[in-house]
Amino acid sequence: MTEYRIDPEIAAHYELGHEQERLERHGQVERLRTRALLERLLPPAPAVVLDVGGAAGVHALPLAADGYEVRLLDPVPLHVSQAQEASAAARAPLAEVVLGDARALPWDDASADAALLLGPLYHLDAPGRATALAEALRVLKPGAPVLAAAVSRFASTFDGIHARALADDGFAQAVARTVGDGEHRNPDGRPEWFTNAHFHHPDELWEELAVAGFAVEGVLAVEGPASFLPPREEAWWLEDEARRATLLEAIARIEQEPSVLGASAHLIAVGRRP
């Protein structure tokens, strides 16, 4: 079997160890919305869910607590050891935590009830994305869903304005390139500017799943209009239960509206193995 290695710059970014707490600190809407989408779109527990690119287990552990048999794979050794530790301490541990790559899954054909690709697609080139999607298709049972995340082609434009990074010439040039071809680069290696990635146009994400052989059911906004809220504003929306429900409902109402999809930082495509 081919041995795949991830880009050393991507590995170095994740070895900094920020991923374990990223969604706790300033990605709460992303976490809550992803959770809501998983609750709605996954088949009911107990079912086998593969979390490919699952990092330290941010989504995998709550799914295990809900009664799913969750198998997590990630290519970054730090993420794997963090997920193993968290799993060992959890009342509902993960069924498996394995070092590996989305392009060569260690699981049997037609063995899973659902697959999550919430990370790998934006860190692979076009052939790599096609291979990762082919692998997801292979391991899913007929009729089972894949949920595949992408970063929007326009996220760095929005973020660059909100966080003022666009005033930096290097960042502005990188953003111009990204809008053109989807390739995001971090010229100065600043951790807050992410790492090498491909940022999808919503239609491109749909197309990639369809070409891989999935019956595509939709491309959905994750954070939608709440994507670039400053931390204080995000905290205000989430600290009160009724207000939080209002926010999540407002995002869900327009989660598939094509005219605003690209304004969401993250997108999730839903496809089914025919």
Ligand X SMILES: C[S@@+](CC[C@H](N)C(=O)[O-])C[C@H]1O[C@@H](n2cnc3c(N)ncnc32)[C@H](O)[C@@H]1O
List residues near ligand X by CB under 6 A. 6, 10, 14, 19, 23, 52-55, 58-59, 74-76, 79, 101-102, 118-120, 123-124
Cβ proximity to ligand X: between 52 and 212 the closer is 52
Q: Confirm if 118 and 85 have CB atoms less than 8 A apart.
A: no
Cβ proximity to ligand X: between 125 and 257 the closer is 125
Cα–Cα distance, 64 to 161 (Å, whole number) = 38
Q: Least separation, in Å, of the C-beta of 169 and ligand X?
A: 26
Cβ proximity to ligand X: between 102 and 226 the closer is 102
Q: Least separation, in Å, of the C-beta of 51 and ligand X?
A: 7
Q: Confirm if 270 and 220 have CB atoms less than 8 A apart.
A: yes
| Secondary structure tally for the chain: helices H, strands E | 11, 9
Q: Confirm if 150 and 269 have CB atoms less than 8 A apart.
A: yes
Q: Least separation, in Å, of the C-beta of 259 and ligand X?
A: 26
Q: Least separation, in Å, of the C-beta of 167 and ligand X?
A: 25
Q: Confirm if 217 and 261 have CB atoms less than 8 A apart.
A: no
Q: Least separation, in Å, of the C-beta of 118 and ligand X?
A: 4
Q: Least separation, in Å, of the C-beta of 17 and ligand X?
A: 11
Cβ proximity to ligand X: between 48 and 52 the closer is 52
Q: Least separation, in Å, of the C-beta of 121 and ligand X?
A: 9
**Both structure tokens of 153:** 């082609």
Going across the sheet that includes 69-74, the strands are: 96-99, 69-74, 48-52, 114-117, 145-151, 266-272, 215-221
Closest residue by beta carbon to ligand X: 119
Cβ proximity to ligand X: between 124 and 142 the closer is 124
Nearest 5°: the CA angle 23, 131, 268 is 35
Cα–Cα distance, 192 to 115 (Å, whole number) = 29
* Terminal CA-CA length for the chain: 26
Cβ proximity to ligand X: between 102 and 166 the closer is 102
What SS3 state is found at 31?
helix
Cβ proximity to ligand X: between 101 and 113 the closer is 101
Angle between helix axes 28-41 and 231-239 (nearest 10 degrees) is 50
What SS3 state is found at 34?
helix
